[in-house]
Amino acid sequence: MSIEVEKLSKVYKLKKSQKKVAVDDISFTIPSGEIVGFIGPNGAGKSTTIKMLTGILVPDGGTISIDGMNFKKNRKQIMYKIGVVFGQKSVLCWDIPVLDTLKLFKDMYKVSDSVYEENMRLFRDVLGIDEFINQPPRLLSLGQRMKADLAASLIYNPDILFLDEPTIGIDVLSKERIRDFIQKINRERHTTIILTTHDVSDIETLCEKMIIIDKGSLIYDGTLEDLKDKYKTTDLEEIIKNIYRNGEMKYA
Ligand SMILES: Nc1ncnc2c1ncn2[C@@H]1O[C@H](COP(=O)(O)OP(=O)(O)OP(=O)(O)O)[C@@H](O)[C@H]1O
Ligand SMILES: [Mg+2]
C-alpha cells in the first residue's frame, strides 16, 4: 500500500478572521513496506498532515491517494487498511477495559477468530499487554496506554500504520520494546509505517527514509544515508539541528 500526496494544504481558521497555514502545498510519496520518519520541529505541521492522511481532517487543497483510493470515494475501504496511534491522545474508550475495546475493534473490523488470537499472542509476547488488559485506559500509565493503543491499531492487520510520537514520555526499556515491535510488524507483515518522533534514536534504529517538514513546507525527502553524506557526518542529531536552524534563519 503506497501513499501519494500531492500539493496538500491545510489552513486553520483562527479568531478575528485570522488564518494559520499549517500545511503548505506538500507533495511526497511513501512506497509500500517502508518505515518512513516524518520529522520536523514543533508546530511544523506533522500531526496536521497525519490527521489528513488518516481522514480525521479534510484538506483545504491537494490530493491524497492511498493505493489509488481517496477519502471522498473510498473512505470505508481506506479505514479498514490504516491504523493510527497518537502518542498525545488515545483512541481507546477511556472508561472500559482495554480487552473490551480490542473485542469491539475485532467486531467492527470483522477480524477472524484466528487472526485475533494470533495478534493477541503477539501483543502479549512483545508488548506485555496482559499486565493491564483488564484495566480501563484512564487507570493506565502513559507507557501502558501507548502499548494498548498500538494493540488496538493493529488488531485488524492494517496495511499502513501511522504513529504520531509513539515513544513520547516512554522509559528506555519500554521504548526499546515498542521499537522492536514496530520493526517486527514492518518486517513480518510488510506494514508501511509513517513515524513521527522527536527522538533521534527512534529514527536511527527504525527509518531508512525521512521526510522533513518545517513551517508546513517540505524540506527533505530522501534516505538517512544521503543526508549523512550530504552533511558529511553520521551524527544525525547534529544534522537535524542544522536543518532546523537553517529553517529558522530562512523564516526569520
Ligand atoms: N486545531 C487547530 N487550530 C488552529 N491551529 C492549529 C490547530 N492545530 C494545529 N494548529 C497549528 O498548526 C501548526 C501545525 O501544528 P501541528 O500540530 O500539525 O504541528 P506538529 O508538527 O505536529 O508539532 P509538534 O511536534 O509540536 O507535535 C501549528 O502552528 C499549530 O499551532
Ligand atoms: Mg504533533
Q: In terms of CATH, what superfamily is 3-251?
A: P-loop containing nucleotide triphosphate hydrolases (3.40.50.300)
19 lines ligand 1 (CB under 6 A): no
Task: Name the closest-CA residue to atom 25, ligand 1.
Answer: 42
What pLDDT was estimated at residue 247? 78
What pLDDT was estimated at residue 230? 92
- Dump the DSSP string for 169-219: T--HHHHHHHHHHHHHHHHHH--EEEEE-S-HHHHHHH-SEEEEEETTEEE
What pLDDT was estimated at residue 164? 97
Q: What is the CA radius of gyration of the chain?
A: 18
pLDDT in tens, 55-68: 999 999 999 999 99
What pLDDT was estimated at residue 57? 97
Q: Which atom of ligand 1 is nearest to the CA of 10?
A: 12
Task: Name the closest-CA residue to atom 17, ligand 1.
Answer: 47
Rounded to an integer, what distance in angstroms lies between the CA atom of residue 22 and that of residue 49?
9
Q: How far is the CA of 43 from the centre of ligand 1 (A)?
A: 5
What pLDDT was estimated at residue 117? 97
40 lines ligand 1 (CB under 6 A): yes
212 lines ligand 1 (CB under 6 A): no
What pLDDT was estimated at residue 251? 60
Please report, as a single letter, which amino acid is at residue 212: I
Place of cell 485488524: 156
Give the count of beta carbons closer than 10 Å to the beta carbon of residue 35: 23
Give the count of beta carbons closer than 10 Å to the beta carbon of residue 134: 10
- Tell which one of 48, 53, 195, 251 to mutate to probe ligand 1, the residue whose CB is within 8 A of the most ligand atoms: 48
Break the chain into its structural domains and give their ranges: 3-251
What pLDDT was estimated at residue 249? 67
Estimate to the nearest angstrom the gap between the alpha carbon of 204 and the chain centroid: 16
Is 7:62 a contact under the CB 8 Å cutoff? yes
**Which residues of the chain, if any, have pLDDT below 70?**
249-252
pLDDT in tens, 137-181: 999 999 999 999 999 999 999 999 999 999 998 999 999 999 999
Q: How far is the CA of 53 from the centre of ligand 1 (A)?
A: 15
